[in-house]
Structures are given as structure tokens and as C-alpha cells.
Amino acid sequence: MISCREDVTKMILSAKVRKGIKWRDVTEATGLSKEWTTAACLGQMTLTKPQAEAVGKIFELSDEAIAWLQIVPYKGSLPTAVPTDPLIYRWYELVNVYGTTIKELIHEEFGDGIMSAIDFSMDIQRTEDPKGDRVNVVLSGKFLPYKSY
Amino acid sequence: MISCREDVTKMILSAKVRKGIKWRDVTEATGLSKEWTTAACLGQMTLTKPQAEAVGKIFELSDEAIAWLQIVPYKGSLPTAVPTDPLIYRWYELVNVYGTTIKELIHEEFGDGIMSAIDFSMDIQRTEDPKGDRVNVVLSGKFLPYKSY
Amino acid sequence: MISCREDVTKMILSAKVRKGIKWRDVTEATGLSKEWTTAACLGQMTLTKPQAEAVGKIFELSDEAIAWLQIVPYKGSLPTAVPTDPLIYRWYELVNVYGTTIKELIHEEFGDGIMSAIDFSMDIQRTEDPKGDRVNVVLSGKFLPYKSY
Amino acid sequence: MISCREDVTKMILSAKVRKGIKWRDVTEATGLSKEWTTAACLGQMTLTKPQAEAVGKIFELSDEAIAWLQIVPYKGSLPTAVPTDPLIYRWYELVNVYGTTIKELIHEEFGDGIMSAIDFSMDIQRTEDPKGDRVNVVLSGKFLPYKSY
Amino acid sequence: MISCREDVTKMILSAKVRKGIKWRDVTEATGLSKEWTTAACLGQMTLTKPQAEAVGKIFELSDEAIAWLQIVPYKGSLPTAVPTDPLIYRWYELVNVYGTTIKELIHEEFGDGIMSAIDFSMDIQRTEDPKGDRVNVVLSGKFLPYKSY
Amino acid sequence: MISCREDVTKMILSAKVRKGIKWRDVTEATGLSKEWTTAACLGQMTLTKPQAEAVGKIFELSDEAIAWLQIVPYKGSLPTAVPTDPLIYRWYELVNVYGTTIKELIHEEFGDGIMSAIDFSMDIQRTEDPKGDRVNVVLSGKFLPYKSY
Amino acid sequence: MISCREDVTKMILSAKVRKGIKWRDVTEATGLSKEWTTAACLGQMTLTKPQAEAVGKIFELSDEAIAWLQIVPYKGSLPTAVPTDPLIYRWYELVNVYGTTIKELIHEEFGDGIMSAIDFSMDIQRTEDPKGDRVNVVLSGKFLPYKSY
Amino acid sequence: MISCREDVTKMILSAKVRKGIKWRDVTEATGLSKEWTTAACLGQMTLTKPQAEAVGKIFELSDEAIAWLQIVPYKGSLPTAVPTDPLIYRWYELVNVYGTTIKELIHEEFGDGIMSAIDFSMDIQRTEDPKGDRVNVVLSGKFLPYKSY
Amino acid sequence: MISCREDVTKMILSAKVRKGIKWRDVTEATGLSKEWTTAACLGQMTLTKPQAEAVGKIFELSDEAIAWLQIVPYKGSLPTAVPTDPLIYRWYELVNVYGTTIKELIHEEFGDGIMSAIDFSMDIQRTEDPKGDRVNVVLSGKFLPYKSY
Amino acid sequence: MISCREDVTKMILSAKVRKGIKWRDVTEATGLSKEWTTAACLGQMTLTKPQAEAVGKIFELSDEAIAWLQIVPYKGSLPTAVPTDPLIYRWYELVNVYGTTIKELIHEEFGDGIMSAIDFSMDIQRTEDPKGDRVNVVLSGKFLPYKSY
């Protein structure tokens, strides 16, 4: 009995290691970005029926698991409020160190409002650099203004 | 008596509102990016003597305050581990929802290691869009590999 | 020296009690809803110059305080993550008890996405009822869909 | 052996996905609002015997599970004090940003007391809007005054 | 400048010690129970104008402070979620040890609902006992049923 | 293998629902108050051998489970420091709102010390009331004075 | 204006350093144990009038401060739930490492109940030891049994 | 498969109840104090091979479990930072109420340093007392001085 | 089904005790430092295929488990933010007591930046000492400077 | 009025920036290591009279402040349990990632016990390295064994 999306995420992660699947292989099957596809496999996004079936085929999931991939999950991928994993912590640190800076600069440019985390996309790329390759990330979020009413 | 950098940040914020200063004005004075300059004024980065004096002139700071701007601050700009401000929370949410995704994709591309939050730069830009302008952010961090020893 | 919006909120609250001002008086001055106006006075929204001046006149604020009302505040009005005040706690309880219900029903109707807390309005009304008057609240938030990319 | 209501909630959620049941189907069977019915299925409300049997029939529950649906549950549907799921977080954010505003306006209208979360109902509706459909929620709670004694 | 009820509570506590006032003296002035009167002086209840003036006279409060006593306070009298003071902790312990028992017995008697903490009164009395005097407390709260809708 | 009292509590709760047992039935078997008996069944008190056997007979427990009922349990019945269940939360709220009041009044009457939560009894009764029946609770705890040494 | 006992504790600590007072000097003035006397000066116990006056004389306290020493304080001397100071942490560690052991042994000897922290005394002594002097602490607390009712 | 010491602790506790073993019986087998022996059985200390075998014989443990008893455990016996069990809480309360007192008196006697929780022993005894028997606990820890370097 | 690295860590720890393996035996097999090798076995580092096979042979792991050893783990080895185990706590205490000192001295020597925890190595050695042997630890981390941009 | 060591730490930090003092200057005056001296100035260690006077002279402290430097402080230099400052966080991360590794290796070498954080010294040095200079830290702590009793 599968009773939450997390059960399916565990099946996917288990199959991924057991069968040596790469996220880029999954991306080819869905025809979507590697960021969105991976997030969906990790239980953060909702797949359409064809997407879920494509993912299910790769990871050899049961029909029940494939059905769960089409259900909106309870989101949030981290086990603690402050992440302990060093790679993810660095992102938390950016938010902590630069948080007020980001806030000030977006407000100076756009006024009061937020950068959407829903109407949003992310692109992670490797950039070669003689001093050590870099991770380049482009985040794009619609600005949503607060308005008086 | 000034006993921590936060006292100086408060002076800067107070003068900024009182005198109607924009961060872009400060950026011109330092000749550096708006992101780094703002972070420095908000108590997260360390200024050189000329930078501190330029900033001090704009915000009419005392010599003591200018000296503090050249001292490495205790970093972290948020009052709570999970930020309550909606704009900053959206960034925390990105880390929470996409955290494991970012981790998987960087590791698939680079192997074990992290994206540096120190050898790092950020660029925040407005992109016009007929469906609503977007905030575009480019993050660039050196990849630092874990190595066995 | 005013160094954060909270200082201005305290001035407003102090003047409100000292002078016996009602929120509805402030609402008349701004010409906006009582909900938005009150939230702005309590340090959660950003006022335009005329709005800030109208509010400043009512509460006899200094020019510096009026300038701060036009600055985007660091939002979040509660001192603890779980509110201790009984009236506000009941709202927290609603989110806790009905949170998954709200999530299920919005997703069943709209698919994956959120109800915006930015493109949002709230209207609080008294409804007379022989068994005891009721508080009626209408919340309206734009649905923002997650889309694959 | 079933030893808490949460076990039954998991059975319901599992059957719901496996059999493609919609909450509106369940609502028809109970003859009650979709909000209350869903909350009950998610382990937050107590069903009468006929309601429990109707629900049990839809989800093919055992007699033991149906008996549990008639037991008052330990309420609270969220795994963390501050919810990580973006949809539910937006509601937490509303309470955080507007909490003091709601408090002020209800007290200005009614005096000291609370808006009941028990003698309470909720109605969630879709409103079509050319700029993007909206979620409209009507909350109705009896005002309960504090009285001196 | 007084900007929150807590400032007035401090004035009352300071005057109480300085002038050797007893809560029972204050109770006589308000004509209400010692429990409600004390809670009001400690910033948890709202006084009417005559009550506030009577209290103000006893503690020699300013008009501004007396005005604050008539404003609904942000309630919650404890500095930490789990109280450190031994007397108050014992009450927290009772809720922790007997919490599920209280829940079971009230539900067995009344069905689903709560015992109101608003339509509520408390009476604390000393009972002489040869084995050591006892504190006897009578709590009375209206039962509020959850109803389906 | 039973390795903690909580395992036995789950067995009792499961049998209670499965067999439709009422706490008052258990009370008759033990000959003690319904409050103490229920607390014991919920894993907060220690039963004597005859009491444990009487309880074991009602819930059809194994000898091993009956042995565990005679072992002093690790007490505390709530899963979180601040309870999420509305009925239990109301009690937490009483401690939070009235905590300092209770402290002041007991100290004014008895001097420094505490109201015991060990040499303690509780009696929960329904009181009929035309405006809605009430839950009446009598708490009785021995006063234990701090003494200098 | 003194509004809480903590203000008086600060005065005592300040005078103690400024005037080079030892706790043993204070103990002589009160005629009580050094443990109780020190705890009282640190804001955890309530002094009688003569004791308060003796303490006040040593630390040159105002009459207002001396009055506060006779008021039951809000107890708890640590700024965080888990103490950061190494000496105090070792005690917390003892409770954490030996907590279940202490519980088992007291219950095996006495049955269900607690060791009182109110009817309690503590004696801290130095014991010479060639391998390094030792701190010897004797704790004595009355056993209080839980009884059924 | 046993993968942590906690699994063995559960086996011991289960066998203890099932077979009616007393800690004093175990103590006789190890020839050590009841405090250390009990702590070891509860997963806080490391046994030698003969001690582990003696303990294993009493509780009928497998060879694998006996091997685990000889492995240094991850110490800490409490499920929450602030213990909920009343007996253990009283000890936490002592640390909280008397923490700064203990610190002051040890420092006055010994200077800067700590009382060791490693080079440490504890002895818990019953003392008869006509007013109610007492728990007497002697703690002995080596004083470890901080030294400059 | 293995679904996270923690499952493999448990297998390793279980086999280690069952078969009496020492970390130094594992170190010989990998040819790397004992610190890195142990951290890898405890689920904190990523092994190459030959290293994973060598480790797998020692602990008799399945092919699936060996595959997991080559996957970058979610790092963080402690169950609570503040560790309860005395040995590990001492390290937390060092960071807490000496944290600002380390920060000041590194900044005085190097300017603003950090000591890397990624380009890092650790060496733990026993040093004989007549007053008691010592643990000597050498930590070496690359200094990474913050630079303006 | 100085009422805690933290007040003196603030005076020292303020004077340090105002007068451009380096920690190495202070070290020369005390004749002790830079690590211990800095920790003492930051409120973590206790100075002798001559050391306090030397430090007081450098920072132009009052006699009262110099007296406080000779009082054992309440230790702990970080404002939050998990440090937000990136440099200090890296050390917390080391404890988190390597914590169980350090524990295993010390126990394998020494048996059960701890590495003392009291009988302890630290030496921080710069090591030149063509790939980027390194911070080298040597920690030396006496091993303290747990012994049975």
C-alpha cells in the first residue's frame, strides 16, 4: 500500500541506483528541463499521465506508483528547517547572508512585491573556468506586486 | 559607543530613508556591483578603506562607524531561521522545494562537492515580459570538489 | 533615529491609544479598505506619499516617520512562529486543522499551484445572528499554477 | 491492528489514488459540504455511523477502520509548526502578515474575544476572472466575547 | 511613550512592589473576581473605563497608561513555550501528562468539540488539610461542539 | 516483543475502538476515578497487579502487556511541546494566558512554593446550563512550600 | 523603576564585582546555607524581610530593590533550554545521560513518584584528592508518591 | 540485524519486564554500582566482555547483542531536549533553577573550570524520614581547571 | 529495497560489530586516511568503484549496497542540532566557546573569508603524556577569501 | 553599571575598532597564546589581576571593567545554536559531518571517554601553499576515560 508520494520517491531513488539511471536519461523521456524533471521525480512536482508513464517505465514502477506521480504532492524536500547537507546549506547561507540585499534591490527596482517561486524556472549549467569550473544558475521568477485594495 | 556592525547597519538604513538615498547611488560611489555593495552596507561584507569612506560620505557616518565598515562582520542578515518576510521566504522555499534537485544535478555533473557561497557572485536584473516583468537572477559559484585524502 | 519600520509602528500604536483614534478613521483618510490600511499602519504594507502623509497627519508623525511608511517593510507581524494570542491562534489552528483539506480541494479544482497571498484581498465583516453575531471573512487570491518548463 | 486515526487516513489516501476517487464523489455520499467531508476523511473531524459507512464503502475500508472514523481524532494535519508546502504556507503567511490586522479589526468591531474555530464553517469556490481565475474562500466563525467574572 | 500593554504591566508590577499592594486590594476596587482582575493587571484582559480608572488610581498610573488598559492586549503571559518557573511548569506538566485523558473523557461525555477557554472562569481557593493545605481550583468552560456543515 | 509502554497504549486504544469499550466500563473494573483510570490506560500511571489484570481482561491483553502496565512509564502524552489538538490546546492556552495570574494568586495566599502535580487529583464533570452545558473541572493539589535551608 | 526581579539580580551581580564581595560573606549575613543564599541573590528564592535587609546592606541596595527580594520571583536562571556554559552544561549532560537510570533506580526503590525539587536541599563541598580535588554534591529531595484516586 | 545500541536497550527492557528482573539482580552479576550498571544496560556505558556476558545471560541476549554491549554507544537517554517525564524533569528544573548558583559556588571555591561528568560517580540512596522518606544522591566529579596557555 | 545511504550505513555498522572489524582494517583496504575512510563508511563521503568494492568485501555488502556507496550522500551525521553525545558535544562546545575567537584570528591573519570544510583534511593522533594521553587533531582547510565583484 | 561580562566584551570590541588594536598586540601584553588571549577578551576565559590590568590598559577600560575580567564568565560566544556566520558555520559543519567519525576513531584508539574541552589548547597557523594558503589548526585535548564504579 502506497500512502504518500514519499514512498514513490524512495522507489525511484532505489531503482535509480540499482539500475544506474542518470537524470539526463529521464529528462529525455519527459522532454522537459532537467531541473523540473528531477524535482518531479523527487516528489516536488506533478506529472501528467504521459510523463508519469514515461517516468514509470524508466524506473519500472507499478501502476499504483504511476498514479501517485500524477497527484499533487505535499512539497518540501528537506528533513530539517536548516539543511545539514553542505551543498544545500550553501544555498541556505546565500539566502541568509544575501536575503536582505535581494529584498532591497528587488524593491528598489520593482516596488513592493515578491519574485514568484511558482511562475518560476531554474537552469543549472557548468561553465568552464581555468581557475576551476563554476556552477552557473539562472533563476527567473515573475515579479508579483502587492497592490492596495 | 558602537559595539557591533549591526549598529552601523542601523545608521545606514536610517540615513538612507531620511535622505532618500538609492542603492544605485551607493554603487556608483564604490564602483562595484549593486549586489555586493548593498550586502556590504547591510553588514554582510567588509569594505576597504576607500570604499568605507565613500560609503561613509554618502550616509554621513562618523569616523568610528567608517572604521567598523572595514571590520569583518558576524554575517547572517535574517532574524529567524525560517524568514517571515514573503520576498525572502520565496527564496527559502526554493531551497526547500528544489534543494534535493539542485544537489542531484550538480552531483551528476560535477561529482561530490559544493557550489561555493564564497567564491560567488550574484546579478539581479529586470527582464521585461508582456505577461508581467520578471526578476532574473544569475548565481555563479565555483565548484569545490570533495577529495579523498 | 528611526532605524526600522517597527519603530514607526510603535509610534502609531502609541498615538492611536493616546488620542483614541479608530482604524476606520484612518481608512477614511486613505480611501482604501480597512484591512489594507490597518496592515499598512501595522508595518506590513507600503504606502504612497499621499497615503503616508494622510496617515502621518492623523498620528502626528514626524517627516522621518512618514518617509519610513513609504519604504517596503520587512514583513511578518507575529513575535513567535506559533502565535500565543488566542484570536490569532484560532487562525493558526484553522491552517493546522484544515491545511491539508484546503490543499486537496484547491488542487482538485485547479490542479497544482497555489492561492496567491500577494495578489490577494481580504474583507472582514460582522454578520448579525440571533445565536450570536459572526465574523465573516472573504479571502480572495489569484490561483497561480505550477507549470512544467 | 489500527492504533490511531492516522492509519485510517493513510488507507483513505491510498485508496483514493488507486481507485481515482474525487473528493466531490465522497461529498455526494455524505450529503455534507466538501470542506467538512474532506477534513473528516483527512482525520480532522468525527463522522456519524451512517457517514462513516458511506465513506467506508467508497474507500472499501474494513469495519475496524469504519469504527475509527467515528472516534474523535487527535487533530492537527501538518507535520511541522511552520508548513513547508507552498500552498499551505501561503495561508500561514497570511496569518503571519495579517495576524495583527485581523486582531485589530475584529476587536474594533466586537471588543475583546475571538472568532471561533469550532462554531465555524468554510466555503472554497473558484471565481472566473479574465486576469486569471481566483480562489475565493468564505470563513464564518461565531464571535465569542471574553467577559469579566 | 507607551507602545504596548507590556509597558503598563511593568508599571503595575513596579508600583505593586514599591507600594506593597495586594491583588485582593485591587479586586475590591474592581468588584470582580481576583482571577480576572489579576489577569487584567498582568496584561491579559481588557478593562472598562471605570475598571481601568480604579486600577489606575491604585497603582498611580498616568492617563496614557489607563487608556492602554482599555485596549485589547496581545495575550500570552509566558516568555517561553515551555515555562521554566516551577509553579507554572506544574500546570504545563498537568496538560502534558493528563492532556489525552482530559480529551478522552470530555469526548466520551460530550462528543467532538472543545471546552472553551473564552467563555471560561477560574476560581482558586485554599483548602485546609491536616496533611498540608491544598490549592483547589475550579475551572468552568462552556462545551463548544464541532458540527458538520 | 513489547519494548515500551507506548506499545501497550496502542493495543488498548486499538481494542477500545474495535470492541466499543467506554472508559466508564474500565473505571468500574478498577474501582477508581475515571480520570486516574483513563490516564493509566493511556500510559501515564502505574497499575497494581489486580488493576492491571482487570484492565487486561477488558482489553484482552497478553500477559506481557499486563506486566508492562505495572511498570512506571516514561510520562508525557503529547507529541509536540505546544499541542496541535484544539481541545488540548485550549488547556495550554489557559496556562499561557493565566499562568502568571495563577502564580501571583497562589503566592499571595501561600507564599513561595508550588501546587503539586503529584499529590494531585482531578475531577471532570458535566454541568447542565441552558446557555450550553459546561465542562467543570476541579483540580486539587497539595501546596508544597519552598523553605530556606 | 524596577519592574522585575532580574533587575535586582543585575544590581547584586554588579555590586558584587565592584566591591569584591564573596558569596560566603553573604551567607554569614543570612545565617543560611551558601546554596540557598546564593540562589536567592541570583533571583531564584524569596527572602524574608530581615534576610532581604541583610542582603541589601551588603550590596547597598535601594529600599525598592530590597522590597523586590521579598517577592516570589519568576524562576529559571538559564538563558537557553540547553545551557551553553560548560560547567552548567555538564549538569545538563548528567541529566541527559543518566536521566533514565535515575528514573529506573528511584522507581525500583520507591515505586511511582518523583524526587521533590521543592522540599529539597543541596550541599556542595570540596573534597581533597591527590589525583585532583573533587566537587562533591549531596542532593536531598523528599520522595513524593503518585497515588491512585 | 542490530544496527544500533538502542535496539539492544529495547531487548533488555523487554526482557526485564517479561522476566521480572530487578536492576539489583543485574548489579550483583556485574559486581559494580547499581548506577553504572543500570546506565550501561540503558545504553549509556560500555561493558567489558565479562560484564556483557553476565548481562547477556540475565536478559538472554544473542551473541550479536552481547557484542553491541561492548561498543561505545551514542549517548543521551532522553527523547526531547526538555524532558517531559515528571521525575526526570525535576532534575532538569534543578539545573535550570540552581544552575547559576552551582556555577557561582564552584567557581568561588575552585576558580574557573568544570565539575567533570566523565570522571564522575553517582550514588542514590533512600533515607528514612518520619515526614516522608527522602531520595539522597551523592554526586562526585573531579574538578577540571581551565588553564591559560 | 535500499532507498537511502543511511540504510547502507546501518548495514556497515551492524556487520562491523558482528564480525569485530576495526576501522584500521578498512583503512588498509582503501589505502586512504582513517578519517576519510571512516567518514565514507558512516555515510558522509562518496567512494569510487574500487573503494566501494573493497569496503563491500570487508562488510559483506550486496551489489546494491556497493552501488549506493558510490552515490553522493545527503550529509550530516548527527540526530539533533546540538549533539547529546558527550564526546561529540565537546566539539560543539569548542565551536561555541571558541567560535568568535577562531573567527577573529583567521580574519586578522587572512582578511574576510572562510576556512574551507571541503578542501579540508583532518588527522587524529594519540600523543603519550605522563599526565594522561592526549588526543591531537590537525585540521587543515584552504582559506577562501570573499572578494568584491 | 556593568552587570555582565558581555558588557565588557562590547567595550573591548568597541575600543579595538576605534583605536585600531590588533589581537597580536594584546597577546604581547599578556604573554600568552593568541587563542587564549583573544578568547579571554571575547568573554570566554578568566584573567588574573595582572593580565586584566594589561588588557585594561590597552583598551582603556575602567577599574570596574577590569574587575569583571577577573570573574568567571557565563561562557558561549554564539547567538544561535546553529551559527549563521559562514566562517563559524564551517566549523559547525565539520562537527556535523565528521562528528560520528571523530567519535569512532577516538573510541577505537582510547576506548570509552572524551577529548577534554577544558584541559585543551588550540593553535591556529597560516601555511603557505601555492594552490592557496591554508589555515592549519592543531587541537590538543586530554583524553578522559569513562570508568566503571
Strands of B134-145's sheet in order across? A113-127, A134-145, B134-145, B113-127
**Is the minimum CB–CB distance between A44 and chain B shorter than 8 Å?**
yes
Sign of the torsion formed by the C-alpha atoms of F108, F112, F115 and F119: negative
What amino acid is encoded at A15 in this protein? A
Whether residues I62 and I91 share a domain: the answer is no
Residues of C whose CB is below 8 A from A144: 116, 118-119
Whether residues B24 and B62 share a domain: the answer is yes
d(CA D74, CA E121): 25
Query: What does the DSSP 8-state code read for residue I59?
Result: H
- Indicate whether B79 belongs to any domain: no
Nearest CA to I26 out of I73, I49, I1, I59 is that of: I59
**Is the minimum CB–CB distance between B91 and chain A shorter than 8 Å?**
yes
Residues of G whose CB is below 8 A from I97: 86
Nearest CA to H117 out of E143, J135, J117, F19 is that of: J117
d(CA B65, CA D27): 65
Whether residues D61 and D100 share a domain: the answer is no
Domain assignment of residue G119, given as a range = 86-145
Q: What is the dihedral of CA D149, E4, E9, E11, to 10 degrees?
A: -140
d(CA E4, CA H88): 38
d(CA H49, CA H71): 10
pLDDT on residue F49: 97
- Closest-CA distance of chain F to residue C93, Å: 7
Catalytic residue among D116, D121, D134, D140: D116
> What number of other Cβ atoms are within 10 A of residue I4's Cβ?
16
- Residue-wise pLDDT for H1-49, tens only, equals 899 999 999 999 999 999 999 999 999 999 999 999 999 999 999 999 9
d(CA E45, CA E36): 7
- Among J7, J13, J17, J38, the strongest candidate for a mutation testing the B interface, having the largest count of B CBs within 10 A, is J17
Whether residues I102 and I138 share a domain: the answer is yes
d(CA G149, CA H77): 31
d(CA I109, CA H9): 50
Tell me the ipTM for this assembly.
Answer: 0.96
**Is the minimum CB–CB distance between H132 and chain E shorter than 8 Å?**
no
Q: Do C3 and B14 touch (CB under 8 A)?
A: yes
Question: Residue written as cell 508595518?
Answer: C43
Give the pLDDT band (50/70/90) at residue D107: very high
- In the predicted model, residues of chain I with pLDDT beneath 70 are none
- Residue-wise pLDDT for B8-31, tens only, equals 999 999 999 999 999 999 999 999
d(CA B60, CA J139): 45
**What would the DSSP string read from start to end of F14-39?**
HHHHHHT--HHHHHHHHTS-HHHHHH
> What number of other Cβ atoms are within 10 A of residue D128's Cβ?
7
Half-sphere exposure (Cβ direction) of B36: Cα atoms closer than 13 Å:
20
Inter-residue contact I68 to I42 (CB < 8 Å): no
CB-closest option in F33, F112, F149 to G46? F112
Question: Residue written as cell 530556606?
Answer: F148
- Closest-CA distance of chain G to residue J29, Å: 24
Would residue F43 be called left, alpha or beta, if left means φ above 0 and alpha means ψ between -120 and 50 degrees? left
Q: Do C81 and B86 touch (CB under 8 A)?
A: no
CB-closest option in D82, D84, D93 to B86? D93
Looking at every residue in chain D, the average pLDDT score rounds to 97
- Indicate whether F93 belongs to any domain: yes
Nearest CA to B104 out of I142, A122, A96 is that of: A122
- Indicate whether C74 belongs to any domain: no
- Residue-wise pLDDT for G6-65, tens only, equals 999 999 999 999 999 999 999 999 999 999 999 999 999 999 999 999 999 999 999 999
d(CA E127, CA E137): 10
B93 classed as catalytic? yes
**Is the minimum CB–CB distance between J124 and chain A shorter than 8 Å?**
no
- Residue-wise pLDDT for D56-70, tens only, equals 999 999 999 999 999
Inter-residue contact A72 to C107 (CB < 8 Å): yes
Give the pLDDT band (50/70/90) at residue G105: very high
Q: Do E93 and H93 touch (CB under 8 A)?
A: no
Degrees to nearest 5, angle at CA C31 with C26 and C36: 70
Q: Do C4 and B11 touch (CB under 8 A)?
A: no
Q: Give Cβ neighbours of residue G73 (< 8 Å, ≥ 6 apart).
A: G5, G43, G44, G45, G46
d(CA G53, CA G63): 9
Nearest CA to J26 out of J5, J55, J62 is that of: J55
Residues of G whose CB is below 8 A from H143: 126, 132-135
Classify A69 as helix, strand or coil.
helix
- Residue-wise pLDDT for F34-88, tens only, equals 999 999 999 999 999 999 999 999 999 999 999 999 999 999 999 999 999 999 9
**Is the minimum CB–CB distance between D77 and chain A shorter than 8 Å?**
no
Q: Do I3 and A11 touch (CB under 8 A)?
A: yes
- Residue-wise pLDDT for B82-123, tens only, equals 999 999 999 999 999 999 999 999 999 999 999 999 999 999
**Is the minimum CB–CB distance between E103 and chain C shorter than 8 Å?**
no
Whether residues E12 and E54 share a domain: the answer is yes
Question: Residue written as cell 583605536?
Answer: J19
CB-closest option in F3, F81, F118 to H13? F3
- In the predicted model, residues of chain C with pLDDT beneath 50 are none
Whether residues I56 and I94 share a domain: the answer is no
Q: Give Cβ neighbours of residue B47 (< 8 Å, ≥ 6 apart).
A: B30, B40, B55, B69, B70
d(CA F29, CA F48): 13
Whether residues I9 and I65 share a domain: the answer is yes
The proportion of chain D whose per-residue pLDDT surpasses 70, expressed as a percent, equals 100
d(CA J142, CA C25): 70
Strand partners, D135: C141, D126
Looking at every residue in chain H, the average pLDDT score rounds to 97
Q: Which residues of B113-132 are buried (b: 16+ CB within 10 A; e: fewer)?
A: bbbbbbbbebebeeeeeeee
d(CA G82, CA H81): 7
Whether residues F55 and F19 share a domain: the answer is yes
Residue of chain E whose alpha carbon sits nearest to that of H81: E82
Distance of CA D95 to the CA centre of its chain: 17
Q: Do B118 and I149 touch (CB under 8 A)?
A: no
CB-closest option in H46, H107, H148 to J72? H107
Q: Do D72 and E112 touch (CB under 8 A)?
A: yes
Q: Do D122 and C87 touch (CB under 8 A)?
A: no
- Indicate whether B81 belongs to any domain: no
Mean pLDDT of H57-84: 97
d(CA I133, CA I135): 7
CB-closest option in I22, I35, I115 to J87? I115
- Closest-CA distance of chain F to residue C99, Å: 12
Strands of G134-145's sheet in order across? G113-127, G134-145, H134-145, H113-127
In order along its 149 residues, chain A shows pLDDT tens digits of 899 999 999 999 999 999 999 999 999 999 999 999 999 999 999 999 999 999 999 999 999 999 999 999 999 999 999 999 999 999 999 999 999 999 999 999 999 999 999 999 999 999 999 999 999 999 999 999 999 99
**Is the minimum CB–CB distance between C130 and chain F shorter than 8 Å?**
no
Whether residues D90 and D64 share a domain: the answer is no
Residues of J whose CB is below 8 A from G10: 1, 3-4
- Among A74, A78, A105, the strongest candidate for a mutation testing the B interface, having the largest count of B CBs within 10 A, is A105
The proportion of chain I whose per-residue pLDDT surpasses 70, expressed as a percent, equals 100
**Is the minimum CB–CB distance between J131 and chain H shorter than 8 Å?**
no
Catalytic residue among E93, E104, E134, E140: E93
d(CA A18, CA B135): 40
Whether residues J57 and J99 share a domain: the answer is no
Catalytic residue among G14, G62, G77, G116: G116
- Indicate whether G77 belongs to any domain: no
What amino acid is encoded at D5 in this protein? R
> Which cell goes with H49?
566482555
Question: Residue written as cell 529584498?
Answer: A103
Catalytic residue among I116, I121, I134, I140: I116
Q: Do D114 and C86 touch (CB under 8 A)?
A: yes
Q: Do I81 and A82 touch (CB under 8 A)?
A: yes
Chains in contact with chain G (at least 3 beta-carbon pairs closer than 8 A) = E, F, H, I, J
pLDDT on residue H46: 97
Q: Give Cβ neighbours of residue F50 (< 8 Å, ≥ 6 apart).
A: none
> What number of other Cβ atoms are within 10 A of residue E9's Cβ?
21
By CB atoms closer than 10 A (0-12, 13-18, 19+), residue F123 is middle
Sign of the torsion formed by the C-alpha atoms of G89, G92, G97 and G102: positive
Inter-residue contact J149 to H121 (CB < 8 Å): yes
d(CA I71, CA J130): 32
- Indicate whether G36 belongs to any domain: yes
**Is the minimum CB–CB distance between G23 and chain F shorter than 8 Å?**
no
Q: Do D88 and C75 touch (CB under 8 A)?
A: no
Cβ pairs B/D, distance under 8 A: 12
Nearest CA to D52 out of H32, I39, D63, H15 is that of: D63
- Indicate whether H47 belongs to any domain: yes
Phi, psi dihedral angles at C129 (to 5 degrees): -155, 130
> Which cell goes with F117?
502535580
Q: Supply the CATH number for residue D134's domain.
A: 3.30.1160.10
pLDDT on residue C133: 98
Residue of chain B whose alpha carbon sits nearest to that of I73: B112
Give the pLDDT band (50/70/90) at residue G147: very high
Inter-residue contact D38 to D13 (CB < 8 Å): no
Q: Do J18 and B67 touch (CB under 8 A)?
A: yes
Residues of A whose CB is below 8 A from C109: none
Residue of chain B whose alpha carbon sits nearest to that of A73: B97
Q: How far is CA D97 from CA A149, C76, D78, F82, I133, in A?
A: 16, 5, 20, 22, 57
By CB atoms closer than 10 A (0-12, 13-18, 19+), residue I72 is buried
Nearest CA to G72 out of G16, G142, G4 is that of: G4
- Indicate whether C18 belongs to any domain: yes
For β-strands C113-127 and C134-145, DSSP reports them as antiparallel
Classify A120 as helix, strand or coil.
strand
- Closest-CA distance of chain A to residue C40, Å: 9
For β-strands G113-127 and F134-145, DSSP reports them as unpaired
Chains in contact with chain H (at least 3 beta-carbon pairs closer than 8 A) = E, F, G, I, J
Q: Do J17 and B74 touch (CB under 8 A)?
A: no
Distance of CA H88 to the CA centre of its chain: 12
Q: Supply the CATH number for residue H46's domain.
A: 1.10.260.40
Catalytic residue among E18, E24, E90, E134: E90
Residue of chain C whose alpha carbon sits nearest to that of A101: C74
Catalytic residue among G90, G104, G121, G140: G90
Whether residues I44 and I92 share a domain: the answer is no
Q: Do C78 and D99 touch (CB under 8 A)?
A: yes
**What would the DSSP string read from start to end of chain D?**
---SHHHHHHHHHHHHHHHT--HHHHHHHHTS-HHHHHHHHTTSS---HHHHHHHHHHHT--HHHHHHHTSPP-----SSSS--SHHHHHHHHHHHHHHHHHHHHHHHHH-SEEEEEEEEEEEEEEE--TT--EEEEEEEEEEEE----
Q: How many domains is chain C built from?
A: 3
Inter-residue contact F122 to F139 (CB < 8 Å): yes
Whether residues G50 and G101 share a domain: the answer is no
Q: Do F82 and D81 touch (CB under 8 A)?
A: yes
**Is the minimum CB–CB distance between I139 and chain J shorter than 8 Å?**
yes
Phi, psi dihedral angles at I22 (to 5 degrees): -105, 155
